[in-house]
Chains A and B, each alone.
Chain A
Amino acid sequence: MMRRPTYALGAAIAVAAVVAPRPVAAQEDPAALIALIEKQPADLDRAAWKERRREAARKLIATGDKRAVPVMIRLAEGESFDIIGEIAIEGLGKLGDASAIPALERVAADNSRDRAQRDLARKALAKLGGKAPAATPTPPPAPTPPPDRVAAPPPADDGGDRDAFDGSATAPDPGEASAPPASDTGGGGHGVFGGGGRDAAVVGQPTWDDDVLAARESLTFAVGAASFDWDTVRERTSFVLDADSHYARRLERETMAWGVTADLDTLVGVLNPAGDASSRLVAITAAVEGEARFYGGPGVYGVGQVAIAPQLHYLSSVGNDGMTNVKDTRFVADAGLALGGGYGRVLDVGPRLRVQRLAAVLEDARALGRPIDDGLARRLQSTWWALRRDRTGYRQLTATVAILREAGVLLGEPDAGTTYELLEVLRDASFDVRPSGLDVQILFGESYLVRNNEDGDGLPDVPDGRYEQVMVRARAARQLGLAADAQAWLDARYRLFTPEMTATPWRAAVGGRFRTFAHGEHGELLGAFDVGAEAIVSSDGDANGMDEPDDIDLGAALVGELGWTWTLNRASSVRLGGEVRLAAKEVFIGLALTGSYGFLDAGFARSAP
């Protein structure tokens, strides 16, 4: 309790010492100068303090006092992006203390630092009689945290005390002058996040070529229902399993792009009431789709798509009399190939927005040493991709902090508040699937449809065999900052080359959707509000006399919806949505609660919009 006044007094003295003009530098009080370097006085803003501490560092070096050595070592190793780091490196050479040699060797060997800094370190080493090491990449120690972000700095007058998170906030006593720099903030691996070496080395990171614009992979399971009931009162057994799985992977390069999706839906229902009655239904649906694009000019591309979708239904229903009422096995299949061209592309820029949000958190915490450049953003996203199976976020957090520290972006070990906010950024599902761009395409599709057209079953005949159509699709998406986006789409199709007396259906739909994400005070994703609308006109193409007389083959509908989505984790959510439809002279209002659980979601985006 008594330390704070003493410390404040020390700081005040330090300010006075610097502010007051002195004719000779040697007359400066080293303790006051150290205090000013280590702690921002309350009456100085950050910019002014940074300027003053540089001046204080020069003056401290000029005193030649041995207490300056550990201070300069910490500055030399930690301040990679402030000129005070270079002042310190140069100063260590002037101070002539051999205990600075290991630190200077590390600086000289650190390829992530500016060449000028490494050269200064070599010159300083030469003055101290040390040998400049070969320039090999080594994990450098972490930068010195800015004093206003460290935990509970000890007072200036008890230089022997050091906080567990910090080795820089204390003005050491002369007895510590030859001690090595505090390693608990550095790359030695003693900090909370283990420094920049071990945790940053995540295995299995993908290597993105320079021409990769974006990539995405996701695997989602949705269990609509899974239940087994045995009712002993009514002697009734039922079993339901409704499970869907979806896998998607897409890679966008400058000159080509490809994507594949695979779906497998399984539905099993068994109902055995008392007596002879029973029902069984099995439905298995698989679908595989692929797309490849080749860009031949600025945004212009040729595209090919394939789709294969077999579907099997089995239904058996036995009545109370024990006689089979229904036994129905159906197999349908689609196989299609589409070729066409288009302009533009829509990219998922979510991963890059996550990087932007990360930088914003560090900036707010005044822990951002330098902007996150493209190379570092690429490295972060590769790491997240490799750790996409990490459901807790722990490994992503430790690796992210290690990388940011290693690159000098994160100034020192983050405090508890910053750590929490970083973790929330990494867990934030709002940065998954954030499309941006414009894509317009026209496709000619040739499909072969396997259907069950049987005479005498009363069912209307449906197109079977070859089916040609032209499809026009357009999609525009824009990110409105980090927490909102908007999309619009157009989708139209028209059947071609129909035989005589065959329907020519067509459909056109245009719609849009706006989403905004809600976050808590410390970046926690609370959920998302979405509102959308779609207008649809269509025709079954059957206006050639086959319809009933009062039928006109044009249909139209307006659909509006809004919803709120609760986010459970990166790939799982629950959505409560309301829908209003205006169709066939009536207004229909609906409400739905839907949920899904997923994992393995990951993405990469070279640049943000």
Chain B
Amino acid sequence: MRRRLLFAVGAAVALACAACDDDDGFKDGARGPCAAGGQLSGCPDGERTPEAACWRLVECGSLPAEAEDENANDWGRCVNRLESMIEDRATVVIACIAGATCDELLAPGSPHPYEDTFCWRYGEP
């Protein structure tokens, strides 16, 4: 019993280190349940919030969780952009991201995109 507990704790710590170790430059994409393989893989809709929509983009490999370049798009900037949009535009962009397949959410240059994925273009001036 103690061995099992130690193993479980060890595995959790190792995974936590892997998740937070930036020296190795761990990649952010391809993590989502439907990031590859289509509908058979199981592809549930995401929640309709700015945070959840941006996580979907990260897990699909569309943008990084945190970009080294201050001007590059990443999860935080994605959330900020959605929150600063007028409400009826943000609602549609978020829903578009939540419902699209991961393949459709890739943008030019993903996972370090230099352009936005198509959902962002709704309501662009």
A: which residues have CB within 8 A of B?
Answer: 224-225, 227, 229, 238, 240, 242, 244, 265, 267, 269, 271, 277, 279, 281, 283, 285, 287, 289, 305, 307-309, 311, 313, 315, 317, 319-320, 325-326, 328, 330, 332, 334, 336, 338, 445, 447, 449, 451-452, 457-460, 462-463, 467, 469, 471, 491, 493, 495, 505, 507, 509, 535-541, 547-548, 550-558, 579, 581-586, 588, 590, 592, 594
Residue of A281, A457, A582, A594 with most chain B CB atoms under a 10 A cut-off: A281
Chain B positions within 8 Å of A581 at CB level: 55
Chain B positions within 8 Å of A451 at CB level: 103
Asked whether, in the complex, the Cβ of B29 is within 8 Å of the Cβ of A588, the reply is no
Contact status of A227 and B40, CB under 8 A, knowing A505-B35, A555-B31, A592-B52: no
- Alpha-carbon distance between A76 and B65 when the two chains are bound, in angstroms: 75
A4 to chain B, nearest CB (A): 61
Interface of B is mostly: loop
Asked whether, in the complex, the Cβ of B40 is within 8 Å of the Cβ of A267, the reply is no
Asked whether, in the complex, the Cβ of A493 is within 8 Å of the Cβ of B31, the reply is no
Contact with A along B35-47 (1 / 0, CB 8 A): 1111111110101
Asked whether, in the complex, the Cβ of B16 is within 8 Å of the Cβ of A558, the reply is yes
Which of A244, A313, A334, A556 contacts B26 (CB under 8 A)? A556
Contact status of A244 and B103, CB under 8 A, knowing A495-B37, A581-B55: no
Asked whether, in the complex, the Cβ of B31 is within 8 Å of the Cβ of A242, the reply is no
Which partner residue on chain B sits nearest A443 by CB separation? B40
Asked whether, in the complex, the Cβ of A540 is within 8 Å of the Cβ of B19, the reply is no
Chain A positions within 8 Å of B40 at CB level: 305, 307, 334, 336, 338, 445, 447, 469, 471
- Alpha-carbon distance between A493 and B35 when the two chains are bound, in angstroms: 11
- Alpha-carbon distance between A588 and B99 when the two chains are bound, in angstroms: 22
Asked whether, in the complex, the Cβ of B96 is within 8 Å of the Cβ of A281, the reply is yes
A-B pairs with beta carbons under 8 Å apart, 19 shown? A307-B39, A317-B122, A319-B125, A332-B101, A334-B38, A445-B40, A447-B40, A449-B103, A505-B30, A505-B37, A537-B15, A551-B25, A555-B28, A581-B55, A583-B58, A584-B26, A586-B20, A588-B55, A594-B48
Chain B positions within 8 Å of A320 at CB level: 125
Asked whether, in the complex, the Cβ of B21 is within 8 Å of the Cβ of A585, the reply is yes
Which parts of B81-106 form the interface with A (CB within 8 Å)? Answer: 88-89, 91-92, 95-96, 99-101, 103-104, 106
Asked whether, in the complex, the Cβ of B19 is within 8 Å of the Cβ of A592, the reply is no
Which partner residue on chain B sits nearest A538 by CB separation? B31
Chain A positions within 8 Å of B106 at CB level: 459-460, 462
Contact status of A447 and B37, CB under 8 A, knowing A271-B123, A313-B118, A592-B52: yes
Residue of A265, A555, A590, A592 with most chain B CB atoms under a 10 A cut-off: A555
Residue of B12, B29, B75, B112 with most chain A CB atoms under a 10 A cut-off: B29
Asked whether, in the complex, the Cβ of A271 is within 8 Å of the Cβ of B89, the reply is yes
Residue of B37, B58, B64, B66 with most chain A CB atoms under a 10 A cut-off: B37
Chain A positions within 8 Å of B108 at CB level: 457-459
B: which residues have CB within 8 A of A?
Answer: 12, 15-16, 18-22, 24-31, 33, 35-43, 45, 47-49, 51-52, 55, 58, 61, 64-66, 75, 88-89, 91-92, 95-96, 99-101, 103-104, 106-110, 112, 114-115, 118-119, 121-125
Asked whether, in the complex, the Cβ of A467 is within 8 Å of the Cβ of B66, the reply is no
Asked whether, in the complex, the Cβ of B99 is within 8 Å of the Cβ of A265, the reply is yes
A268 to chain B, nearest CB (A): 8
Chain A positions within 8 Å of B121 at CB level: 279, 315, 317, 325-326, 328
- Alpha-carbon distance between A586 and B91 when the two chains are bound, in angstroms: 27
Known: A447-B39, A460-B109, A552-B27. 5 other contacts (CB 8 A): A283-B99, A328-B121, A541-B30, A555-B26, A556-B18
Asked whether, in the complex, the Cβ of B35 is within 8 Å of the Cβ of A507, the reply is yes
Chain B positions within 8 Å of A594 at CB level: 47-49
- Alpha-carbon distance between A507 and B123 when the two chains are bound, in angstroms: 35
Asked whether, in the complex, the Cβ of B118 is within 8 Å of the Cβ of A269, the reply is no
- Alpha-carbon distance between A130 and B16 when the two chains are bound, in angstroms: 83
Asked whether, in the complex, the Cβ of A507 is within 8 Å of the Cβ of B30, the reply is yes
- Alpha-carbon distance between A366 and B42 when the two chains are bound, in angstroms: 48
- Alpha-carbon distance between A495 and B40 when the two chains are bound, in angstroms: 12
Asked whether, in the complex, the Cβ of B96 is within 8 Å of the Cβ of A283, the reply is yes
Chain B positions within 8 Å of A287 at CB level: 39, 43
A476 to chain B, nearest CB (A): 15
A-B pairs, 10 with minimum CB distance: A458-B108, A269-B92, A334-B38, A584-B65, A540-B30, A336-B40, A585-B22, A309-B39, A590-B51, A556-B18
Chain A positions within 8 Å of B26 at CB level: 552, 554-556, 584
Asked whether, in the complex, the Cβ of B27 is within 8 Å of the Cβ of A328, the reply is no
- Alpha-carbon distance between A404 and B96 when the two chains are bound, in angstroms: 50
- Alpha-carbon distance between A277 and B33 when the two chains are bound, in angstroms: 37
- Alpha-carbon distance between A439 and B119 when the two chains are bound, in angstroms: 38
